[in-house]
Amino acid sequence: MLLQLNNIFKWVNSGGQRIFLLKDINLNVEEGEFISIMGPSGSGKSTLLNVIGMLDAFDEGEYNFLDESVHTLKEKHRANLYKEYIGFVFQSYHLLDELTVKENLEMPLLYKKFKGSERKAMVADMLDRFNIVGKKDLFPAQLSGGQQQLVGIARALISSPKLILADEPTGNLNSKQGEEIMELFKQLNNEGVTIIQVTHSEKNAEYGSRVINLLDGRMI
Amino acid sequence: MLKNYLKIAWRNLTKNKAYTLINVGGLALGMAVTLIIGLWIQDELTHDKNFANKAKFAQVFQSQTFNNNTGTGPAIPLPLAPALRNGFNDNFKYLIMSSWTNDSYLKYEETYLSRPGNYMQREAPELLGLEVLKGEKDGLREVNSIMLSESTADALFGDINPIGKTVRISNEHDMMVSAVYKDMPYNSSFRDLKYIMPWTHYVNTNEWIENSLDNWGNNSFQLFVQIAENTTMESVTNAILNIKKDANEDTAEFNPRIFLLPMDDWYLRNNFENGKQVGGRIKYVWLFGIIGAFVLLLACINFMNLSTARSEKRAKEVGIRKSIGSQRRQLINQFLSESFLVVLFAYLMAISIVLLCLNGFNELARKEIEFPWSNPGFWLVSLLFIAFTALLAGSYPALYLSSFKPVDVLKGTFKAGKYAGLPRKILVVLQFTVSVAFIIGTVIVMQQINHAKNRPIGYDKEGLIQVPTFSQDFEGKTDLMREQFINSGAAVEMATSSSPTTRIWSNRSGFTWEGKPEGFQEDLAWTEVSPEYAKTLNLKIVQGRDFSRDMATDSLGVLINETAVKYLGLENPIGQLLRDSDEEDPNPPLKIIGVVEDMIAQSPYEPVKQGLYVYDRHFNFSYYNLRLNPNQSANQNLAVIERVFKENFPAIPFEYDFVDEEYAEKFAAEQRIGTLSGIFTALAILISCLGLFGLTSFVAEQRTKEIGVRKVLGASVFNVWNMLSKDFLKLVTVSCFIAVPIAYYIMNGWLQEYPYRVILKWWIFALAMLGAMGVTILTVSFQAIKAARSNPIKSLRTE
């Protein structure tokens, strides 16, 4: 068992009314799964993903990640936990514009205090694996969308996470680039990485092994 | 990690060049001002700090009360020193009588020099800690010896060894050089001590001094002391406070108090008001210290404001870093190291600015400040200064930026809250409050200077020169010289005077006259002049007549000024007699023959002092005053005058001062403050405007979409400009209303020190406010109009 959500509720108060963003979510994720979260706009897909990624808090329920109860952890421990085990891939890539491809890849390693030589080796490895060695000194603005997302995924993978959380990873890409990215996810999944993606597209959802449908914050 | 931070910082800086220029440039400017002010303060505070015995070194001061006015000064009577030696010897290590520092002519073979120096008692070299380079330390032992400073010796003797050579002083006395000492440092009260001659020589060669040996009433000397190791200034002062009152009955009515002024206070705290020590230059140290701190604060505020204004741009980075695993502490470190880099960069720029400006500043401030390259203390302070500024300027952005929630900023829904701009607004208000207060202060200082400059001075100072005549060679030659100068065509009139036109060197009391109130203790300025004095100066006679050479009785005549008429309470002054109140051996009475218009001889900020202009019967003059021929150029006139002078006094160097320049000197201190505060104000405004300019551009950028939508809906350029400018104008208006009362309070206090002062008018404040708003509108408009003119399609498409 990689993670387990029990009776998760999340809400905001607006004008005296309580609006539920997540309502009684129960979810078990095993290692090696490839899950797609689907649902219309505003159904709580991204919120669920952020809760799983520990970037967002919830108001009620239990969350266990690798036998640690996340809801009782202090912020610092939580940060250590996701830094160690989770990689994020964003719809709009979120690369740092001021850093080159190589430096963007290196950044997570800096926060995990790897030594310089180790970092160099790992970055070179990743550049090689994603076939972007030639682009290592370019800045994000000099790359196409697909290439930027490739770097984004490489950055998420570089610290060998158990879990990759992807929020509409192909949302900003054309169909050919999108397909390539999904193929890559498939391949990573086959190598043993657990993936949870949020997507609008039925086609992308088919790459996964399981689909979770959300409507108004509730699993259906 | 640090490398990564700095790399990002560096790339951020180089990417936004305009921002960097504003941010780093503004900070550098502020730091440069603070650095220069810091160096100036350091120089002021180290004045007189280079004496090993400074903690025990003091000068004896005296307070006396005339007509309820207490005057305090370093002038003391001769019998004081022996009285202290006899009664209080245990309290002192050294008691050194000294003359005032006066210029003398020094001559060796064919070289003449005019240099300032003192007559001092024998142990002076010990007291002063003179570093004797050649000759003997005990150089004042022989009565006809002279100790020369290194620069004086070099100028007089060149390569020749001066020891044992004879120097002729004022063409009267031959003195033998006994020692050469290292010149006193320039920031010392003894900087003008270019030679020292023995006190005994001073006493032996001046009859009036010998006559003063028992005279407690002649306060014409200085006394420097070093107190004993085991005592304090306070206890010595307490012991000697009433020594004069107890020793002498005649002067006891003036309640003389004798006390020590420690060397620490000589330069910075030497002002007295009614017998109380009230500070002095220290107030300028404070003033400029505060200005420096404020200018730096302004620059730091810019840095903070621009950093937080850019926060929405940096928010994304914060979100990404946090989602990748950065902790808040690491982000704080990152932003602080970024701030450190910028500050370091600004500091290097500031040093270059300081190096470029230091010469100009020295000239302006009359300093010889050097950049302290080799002073480790300076670098240590600099390092602390950088760290402090980096922390001050960087802490707010660091704390603010690092507090962002990654989800919010990454979702793109991040909007700074309703009050996020509030601290920024407060900082802008603070900035402009300081700037407006500076503007008002500067305008008032300038006004006060002009006010005093435009004050009628009572005589015609243009085309008037004074030539010093500090030698007995001039005795009895006045009429001859006057004739020669006038005949040469270079001067139209000449008169002698016992003090320069722009000073009062002598004051007298001890007169009686008709209607003198009982117990009135008069104090009259005393100038001895030759008969053509009023004519030479174009001094107007308002009653009676001028001196006349045809009237033999005029040698006992006196001209008094208008203030003196009121002071003495005379209804019909002409023909009245001023009698000597000394009944045993009276001087002949002086008859008032005329009243002259008041002329400003002392401070242009003070009322004119009651004064007497007496016929000079004893060759007591110190200056020739010459009215130059207005039909020739000054250069022509001076060349002729010098030739005539040299023909008559070949052994004396020809020196002269233009009276108008001497008069202008009276404004020097205020003028310097005015100029400096003007410069600092300009810089403060520039820095504030830079910040405002940057802020507007960010606000315009932030509101691009809003501006686009408004334009599509039909807003004109004016509407948009109005919308963007209004906010800032509001802030500046608030600043004005805070600044005006503060500035009024401070400047009103400053003006109280000047009896002759400008009246504060409301329009000065209105003008400063209008000025500040005008500058704001100009600064803001540039960006606002640019934003307002942009094509809305473009800005909307980027969404």
My answer on whether B592 and B696 are in the same domain is: no
The dihedral of CA B571, B577, B583, B587: what is its sign? positive
Q: Do A111 and B319 touch (CB under 8 A)?
A: no
CA B18 to chain A, closest CA, distance in angstroms equals 17
My answer on whether B86 and B205 are in the same domain is: yes
Q: Does B748 touch chain A (CB under 8 A)?
A: no
Quick one: which of B301, B555, B550 has its CA closest to B432? B301
Q: Show residues of chain A in contact with B408, CB under 8 Å.
A: none
Q: Show residues of chain A in contact with B321, CB under 8 Å.
A: 96, 107, 111
Residue segments in chain A with a per-residue pLDDT below the cut of 70: none
Q: Do A79 and B316 touch (CB under 8 A)?
A: no
Residues of A with CB under 8 A from a CB of B: 46, 50, 53, 55-56, 76, 79-80, 82-83, 88, 90, 92, 94-96, 98-99, 103, 106-108, 110-112, 155
By DSSP bridging, strand B590-596 and strand B541-544 are antiparallel
- List B496's β-bridge partners, or say none: B624
Q: Show residues of chain A in contact with B405, CB under 8 Å.
A: 55
**Residue B663 counted as domain residue:** no
Residues B58, B260 contacting (CB under 8 angstroms): yes
Q: Does B317 touch chain A (CB under 8 A)?
A: yes
**Rounded Cα–Cα distance for residues B605 and B583 (Å):** 38
Q: What is the DSSP letter of A133?
A: G
Q: Which domain holds residue B477?
A: 472-651
Residue segments in chain B with a per-residue pLDDT below the cut of 70: 311-312, 411-420, 794-799
Q: How many domains does chain B have?
A: 3
**Rounded Cα–Cα distance for residues B103 and B113 (Å):** 10
**Encoded tokens for B212:** 């003063």
My answer on whether B722 and B763 are in the same domain is: yes
Q: How far is CA B469 from CA A182, B498, B751, in A?
A: 104, 10, 38
**Encoded tokens for B295:** 């200018």
Residues B587, B618 contacting (CB under 8 angstroms): no
My answer on whether B123 and B251 are in the same domain is: yes
**Residue B149 counted as domain residue:** yes
Predicted ipTM of the assembly: 0.79
Interface test with B, best of A98, A157, A165 (most B CBs within 10 A): A98
**Residue B310 counted as domain residue:** yes
Q: Do A98 and B12 touch (CB under 8 A)?
A: yes
Q: Show residues of chain B in contact with A106, CB under 8 Å.
A: 4
My answer on whether B386 and B531 are in the same domain is: no
**Residue B532 counted as domain residue:** yes
CA B383 to chain A, closest CA, distance in angstroms equals 28
**Rounded Cα–Cα distance for residues A75 and B379 (Å):** 41
Quick one: which of A108, A133, A158, A12 has its CA closest to B320? A108
**Rounded Cα–Cα distance for residues B400 and B219 (Å):** 67
Q: Do B4 and A94 touch (CB under 8 A)?
A: no
**Rounded Cα–Cα distance for residues B465 and B625 (Å):** 6
Q: What is the DSSP letter of B758?
A: P
**Rounded Cα–Cα distance for residues B102 and B332 (Å):** 64
Which residue is closest to B313 within chain A, CA to CA? A97
My answer on whether B720 and B638 are in the same domain is: no
My answer on whether B189 and B262 are in the same domain is: yes
My answer on whether B575 and B623 are in the same domain is: yes
**Rounded Cα–Cα distance for residues B717 and B709 (Å):** 13
**Residue B659 counted as domain residue:** no
Answer with the one of B213, B232, B266 that is the final residue of a domain: B266
The single-letter code of the amino acid at B73 is: G
Q: Report yes or no on whether pTM surpasses 0.80.
A: no
The dihedral of CA B448, B451, B453, B458: what is its sign? negative
Q: Do B324 and A55 touch (CB under 8 A)?
A: no
My answer on whether B498 and B398 are in the same domain is: no
CB contacts < 8 A, A to B, total 59
Interface test with B, best of A91, A96, A158 (most B CBs within 10 A): A96
Q: Where are the alpha helices (DSSP H) in B192-327?
A: 199-205, 207-211, 233-240, 243-247, 263-266, 282-309, 311-324
**Rounded Cα–Cα distance for residues B373 and B379 (Å):** 8
Across chain A, mean pLDDT equals 89
Q: What is the DSSP letter of B611?
A: E
Of B320, B325, B330, the CB nearest to A96: B320
Domains and CATH numbers, chain A: 33-57+75-219 (3.40.50.300)
My answer on whether B26 and B82 are in the same domain is: no
Q: Does B25 touch chain A (CB under 8 A)?
A: no
**Residue B462 counted as domain residue:** no
Angle, helices B282-309 vs B311-324, to 10°: value is 70
My answer on whether B154 and B196 are in the same domain is: yes
**Rounded Cα–Cα distance for residues B71 and B387 (Å):** 48
My answer on whether B519 and B373 are in the same domain is: no
The dihedral of CA B319, B322, B328, B331: what is its sign? negative
**Residue B461 counted as domain residue:** no
The four Cα atoms B489, B491, B494, B500 give a dihedral, to 10 degrees, of -160
**Residue B73 counted as domain residue:** yes
**Encoded tokens for A98:** 């001021």
Residues B590, B577 contacting (CB under 8 angstroms): yes
Q: Does B403 touch chain A (CB under 8 A)?
A: no
Residues A167, A91 contacting (CB under 8 angstroms): yes
Phi (first) and psi of residue B781, to 5 degrees: -60, -40
Q: What is the 3-state secondary structure (H, E, C) of B23-71?
A: HHHHHHHHHHHHHHHHHHHHHHHCCCCCCCCHHHEEEEEEEEEECCEEE
Q: Do A82 and B316 touch (CB under 8 A)?
A: no
Q: Show residues of chain A in contact with B337, CB under 8 Å.
A: none
**Rounded Cα–Cα distance for residues B110 and B104 (Å):** 16
